[in-house]
Amino acid sequence: MKLYAVVMAGGVGSRFWPRSKEKTPKQLLKIFNGKTMIQNTVERLEGLIEKENIFVITNKVQKDEIVKQLKSIPEKNILIEPFGKNTAPCIGLASIFIEKLDPEAVTLVLPADHIIKDKEEFHNTLNKAAEYAYKSKGLVTIGVQPTRPETGYGYIQIDEKEVEEGIYNVYTFAEKPNYATAVRFLESGDFFWNSGMFIWRIDTILYEIKEYLPDLSDGLEILKKSFSSDNFEEILENIYSKLRSISIDYGIMEKSKKVFLTKGNFTWSDVGSWEEVYQLSQKDEHGNTINGKIFTDMTIDSYIYSPDKFTALIGVDNLVVINTKDSLLICRRDRSQDVKKIVEHLKVNKLKEYL
């Protein structure tokens, strides 16, 4: 059994505007330490997966920066989607490249922009999932034990009777709930946060795509026959232009009869908003996280980022302030999920220079 990884790195991170832009989205930013989120993601795989077996799938706009940041990954392993079509086509495309190398490969699929602590426990979880995926030909996902009634995450409900040690049958997937439903999920004890990480054999996922997403499967078959052609990129663009935009959760995981979950007993966050960054960051005695040239007085429980401009805050609380060279964001921490509305406004009003 040989392990491969697919790191999905094509997102734009609209909730992280104005730091996150088209060319430098969330996964390419240094948010918590001296390394970017994608660098931390790849580094976290050290000791588990060989660098030549790690594939990163992204888009044309971000490719150069990813190549620059991930010097240890062979450039041929940086795969380019012509358009973003959600996670099912992304995973399908990466899978046929890996299938060419090893038809029985076990692949870990993970986003490029999550925070995970306790590397040893992370590796133990993945090894357990990989072994079960290999022998069962099942689709294994990692569920994280909820610590609060979080409305920003999807949930997965399991049958509490183990299939084997540490492996559970999945009952259902639930979309991001309202607060009352999230409280109910937390109290039930059999709902877990959907981490967005998957482990399966390549032949298994391609079979499931054929079963549940036949249009995508047909497109992938054409691409496989075109690998060595001079106009592969043109064929890829043509195929992608006709594909439905659909997530792997909705397209496969919610429909398949062989979905399993193993619990991830490590600290995890998908860092989905500036509020999440604040929660994960170190704070001073006033509950503030400060980065840059900043003066505060009677300011508490706020996240303030302003490396290029002097910024002063007096008599305020519970704010997110992000001051970049060309844009300024000020919002209450509890409204940080709404930052994506700014990106929508900029697109509608063709203010591309701020995207």
- Flag the least confident range among 26-35, 67-76, 191-200, 305-314: 26-35
Stretch 130-159: mean pLDDT, rounded? 94
Which domain does 279 fall in, by range? 274-354
Cβ atoms of 138 and 132 within 8 Å: the answer is: yes
Count of domains forming the chain: 2
Q: Supply the pTM of this predicted model.
A: 0.91
Give the per-residue pLDDT at 352: 86
Structural domain ending residue among the three candidates 246, 269, 292: 269
| DSSP run (H or E) holding 211 | helix 202-212
**Does one domain contain both 225 and 286?**
no
From the CB of residue 293, how many other CB atoms can be counted at a distance below 10 Å? Answer: 13
pLDDT of res. 355: 86
Helix axes 202-212, 87-101, angle to 10 degrees: 140
Q: What is the DSSP string of 136-205?
A: H--EEEEEE--SS--SSS-EEEEEEEEEETTEEEEEEEEPSP-HHHHHHHHHHSSEEEEEEEEEEEHHHH
Look at residue 13 and tell me whether its pLDDT is greater than 80.
no
Q: How confident is the model at residue 346 (pLDDT cuts 50, 70, 90)?
A: very high
- Are 308 and 258 found together in one domain? no
- Structure tokens belonging to residue 330: 């000020």
Residues 285 and 329 in one domain: yes
Same domain, 282 and 249: no
Q: What is the pLDDT of residue 34?
A: 83
| Confidence (pLDDT) at 171 | 93
Q: Tell me, what's the pLDDT at 249? A: 94
Using one digit for the tens of pLDDT, what is the confidence trace for 160-195? 888 999 999 999 999 999 999 999 999 999 999 999
Residue 3, classified by CB atoms within 10 Å of its CB into exposed (0-12), middle (13-18) or buried (19+), is: buried
Quick one: 344 and 327 in the same domain?
Answer: yes
User: What's the pLDDT at 233?
Assistant: 92
Q: Give pLDDT, residue 133.
A: 97
146 contacts: CB under 8 Å, gap ≥ 6: 153, 155, 185, 186, 191, 192, 193
Q: Indicate whether 252 and 298 sit together in one domain.
A: no
Decide if pLDDT at 295 tops 90: yes
Q: Is 68 exposed, middle or buried (0-12, 13-18, 19+ CB in 10 A)?
A: exposed
User: Based on the domain organization, do 224 and 281 belong to the same domain?
Assistant: no
Residue corresponding to tokens 């946060």: 193
First to last CA, the chain: 43
pLDDT of the residue at 337: 87
pLDDT bucket at 25, cuts 50 / 70 / 90 = confident
195 closest CA partner among 41, 10, 67: 41
Domain-ending residue, one of 212, 235, 269: 269
**Identity (one letter) of the amino acid at 181?**
T
CA 272 to chain centre: 9
* Cβ-Cβ contacts under 8 Å for 227 (sequence gap 6 or more): 100
What is the mean pLDDT of the segment spanning 285-298?
96
Q: Where residue 147 sits, what CATH number does that domain have? A: 3.90.550.10
Supply the mean pLDDT for the chain: 94
Q: Residue 186: CB partners within 8 Å, gap ≥ 6?
A: 146, 148, 149
Q: Are 106 and 55 found together in one domain?
A: yes
**Which range has the top average pLDDT, 270-274, 313-317, 336-340?**
313-317
pLDDT band at 72 (very low <50, low <70, confident <90, very high): very high
My answer on whether 162 and 204 are in the same domain is: yes
The domain boundary residue, chosen from 269, 294, 319: 269
State the pLDDT confidence band at 18, using cuts at 50, 70 and 90: very high
Question: Same domain, yes or no, for 252 and 303?
Answer: no
Cα-based distances in Å from 146 to 44, 170, 194, 233, 307:
22, 16, 10, 42, 34
Mean pLDDT, rounded, for 23-33: 87
Looking at residue 102, what is its pLDDT? 94
Q: Is 308 helix (H, G, I), strand (E, B) or coil?
A: strand
Residue 126 has pLDDT above 80, yes or no: yes
Give the angle 149-255-222 at the CA atoms, nearest 5°.
Answer: 125
Q: Residue 299 in contact with residue 288, Cβ under 8 Å? A: yes
Residue 300 shares a structural domain with residue 281: yes
What confidence tier does 127 reach under pLDDT thresholds 50, 70, 90? very high
The answer to whether residues 163 and 208 belong to one domain is yes
Burial class (CB in 10 A: 0-12, 13-18, 19+), 242: exposed
